[in-house]
Amino acid sequence: MTLRMPKITVWRAIFAAIMLSGLYATYLRIFYGLGGSTNLSDRFPWGIWIGFDILCGVGLAAGGFTLVAIVHIFAVERYKPILRPAILTAFLGYTLVVVGLLFDLGRPERLWHPLVMWNPHSVMFEVAWCVTLYSTVLFLEFLPVVFEKFGWHRPMEWIHRISVPLMIVGVLLSTLHQSSLGTLFLIVPEKLYPLWYSPLLPLLFYISAIGVGLAMTIFESWHSSRAFGRALELPLLASMARVLAVLMSVYLWIRVLDMTHRQVWGLLARNRIETWLFALEIALMVIPTILLYRAPIRLNPHSLYFCSVMIVLGFVANRLNVGITGLEAGSGTHYIPKWSEVAVTLAICAAGFAVFRIVGQYFPIFETHSPEGPEQIGAAGNLPASSLAVDVPATMP
């Protein structure tokens, strides 16, 4: 066997550069502590490793529980083809969130402490438990893919037997911690800028997580169709975009009501950085929501992709505003991430893309559209023809 140099492309060069700088930043983090690798301070203890890696990471992985609920609990079976990629995205997402957390924690080797040393009054304690349990659920929901790949039928049956409670638990855990990430900031009423501080933060975080979960599913389907040369499930994604438009409308309307009841509209007249960041965040959510109500836009792969990217960016803007920029004035300080913070974050994202691509290539993530594909699996394992990540026993023939 001869080893060949992998072909150097622009994307591979960028990927290598990101990973190398991430590696150097990791060295700084380990040997020089948080002080040597971040711009955090006593007045500003949370930076982009919390604001982006955790808050956005968990939200962007929300497609997993959203699609499990749609396909298996609400039994909208036609979304099945995009369920597995969504579960893979979620599983990778949560794994990377934990990696991000290891960078951010002052004592990462004590990651397990909340599981043993309880404080039920702490939102962080609840998030720690939910994320741990839900990562386990995602692992179990993803296992059938592995079993299927290697043709292990017995364990597949075991997984099928517990799949319904597993799915329900997964949706519940997601509901809890997606909203709890908003609850985290209820304790800082005097620090968080009033455009974002609201008693409804938990609800707003939850609804927007579902929305971004759908948007990420569209985003990720579009990229996989290009990366793996597959046809885009356009009618499916277009109908999902309808759900997304309605959901985002509800979300935005709740924000209108919330701001009205808290009487904070007047703040928008102030020429402050917060006003502009707020405007950017809202524009990134409102524009795609309006566009998605138009059928030609939903049915055009490029405009559909563009809209979902905008919603993802709007979501990221919201989380960064709540977790970082909205806290700066109230904390009496400024925070700009150090290059090493950005390098670690980029490396984590790049690793996510790379692993997704590798898993997508070697594991049965994407349903083959040829009629034989699913049949072969069914014949081989006496399992339902539908090759799903999680299947419901009752749908078995």
Partner 1 sequence: MPKAILYDSTLCIGCRACEGACAERWGLPYNDKIANEERISAHKLTTIEVHGDKFVRRLCMNCLQPACVSVCPVGALEKTALGPVTYDSEKCMGCRYCMQACPFQVPSYEWSSRLPRMRKCDMCYDRQSHGKPTACAEACPVGATKNGDRDALVAEARQRIAERPDQYYHRVYGLSEAGGTSVLYLSAVPFEQIGFRTNVPEEPLPMLTWRVLELLPDVVSTGSVLLGGIWWITNRRAEVAKNDGRRR
Contact at 8 Å (CB) between 154 and 107? no
- By CB under 8 A, the residues from 316 to 355 that bind partner 1 are 327, 331-332
Taking the C-alpha atoms of residue 353 and residue 360, their distance in angstroms, rounded to an integer, is 10
181 near partner 1, judged by CB under 8 A: no
Which range of residues in 42-50, 142-150, 223-231, 271-279 is near partner 1 by CB under 8 A?
A: 42-50
- Judged by CB under 8 A, the residue of 66, 183, 325, 386 near partner 1 is 183
In one letter, which amino acid is 367?
E
- Judged by CB under 8 A, the residue of 15, 19, 26, 105 near partner 1 is 105
- Judged by CB under 8 A, the residue of 133, 143, 146, 188 near partner 1 is 188
- Judged by CB under 8 A, the residue of 26, 45, 232, 249 near partner 1 is 45
The nearest distance, CB 26 to partner 1, in angstroms, is: 14
Total Cβ atoms within 10 A of residue 90: 30
In one letter, which amino acid is 259?
M
What would you report as the CA-atom Rg of the chain, rounded to the nearest whole angstrom? 22
- Judged by CB under 8 A, the residue of 5, 75, 231, 269 near partner 1 is 75
Taking the C-alpha atoms of residue 158 and residue 300, their distance in angstroms, rounded to an integer, is 42
263 near partner 1, judged by CB under 8 A: no
**The token pair that represents 19 in the structure block:** 């990973």
Judged by CB under 8 A, the number of residues near partner 1 is 63
Residues paired with residue 41 on neighbouring β-strands, in sequence order: 44
Contact at 8 Å (CB) between 177 and 58? yes
Total Cβ atoms within 10 A of residue 258: 16
The nearest distance, CB 367 to partner 1, in angstroms, is: 19
**The token pair that represents 176 in the structure block:** 């809890």
When the beta carbons of 58 and 291 are compared against partner 1, the nearer one is 58
- Judged by CB under 8 A, the residue of 2, 3, 4, 42 near partner 1 is 42
27 near partner 1, judged by CB under 8 A: no
Residues paired with residue 192 on neighbouring β-strands, in sequence order: none
Taking the C-alpha atoms of residue 329 and residue 320, their distance in angstroms, rounded to an integer, is 14
List residues binding partner 1 (CB under 8 A): 30-36, 40-43, 45-46, 69, 72-75, 104-108, 110-111, 113-114, 117-128, 164, 167-168, 171-172, 175-176, 179-180, 183-184, 186-191, 202, 327, 331-332, 392, 394-395
